[in-house]
């Protein structure tokens, strides 16, 4: 079970349809990437990395991905999440974090 942090709850809106990608890596780290269109048509992205015990390692919320379709934003988010999870990109120091695109 994932232990959601503040960034996820800023993102959460059950009335908006979203697409998601869930993945578990061999070390037990799980990736949760979600994309949706806001009420005004902006492509929005959430990505989360969670330890085997469910604790949030990182959550990011992008309120706008200008010029990106939902599909393209989801692919970008999955690539970023994998890079962060595997160490190809360093984890940001502060968490939870709300990022602007």
- Domain of residue 37 covers 6-86
| Residue 31 confidence (pLDDT) | 97
How far apart are the C-alpha atoms of 87 and 19, rounded to whole Å? 25
In a domain, 101, yes or no: no
In a domain, 62, yes or no: yes
In a domain, 99, yes or no: no
| Residue 100 confidence (pLDDT) | 44
Structure tokens that stand for 63 in this block = 């309120």
How far apart are the C-alpha atoms of 86 and 44, rounded to whole Å? 24
In a domain, 97, yes or no: no
How many distinct structural domains can be found in the chain? 1
Segment 15-50, tens digit of pLDDT = 888 999 999 999 999 999 999 999 999 999 999 999
In a domain, 100, yes or no: no
| Residue 8 confidence (pLDDT) | 82
Write the CA distances from 50 to 47, 67, 86, integer angstroms.
Answer: 10, 29, 12
Structure tokens that stand for 21 in this block = 């990608």
């Amino acid at each position: 079970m994932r232990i959601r942090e503040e960034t996820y709850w800023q993102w959460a809106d059950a009335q908006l349809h979203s697409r998601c990608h869930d993945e578990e890596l061999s070390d037990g780290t799980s990736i949760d990437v979600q994309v949706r269109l806001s009420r005004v048509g902006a492509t929005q992205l959430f990505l989360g990395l969670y330890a085997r015990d469910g604790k949030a390692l990182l959550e990011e919320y992008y309120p706008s991905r200008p010029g990106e379709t939902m599909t393209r934003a989801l692919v970008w988010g999955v690539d970023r999440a994998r890079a962060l999870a595997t160490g190809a990109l360093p984890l940001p120091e502060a968490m939870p974090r709300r990022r602007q695109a």
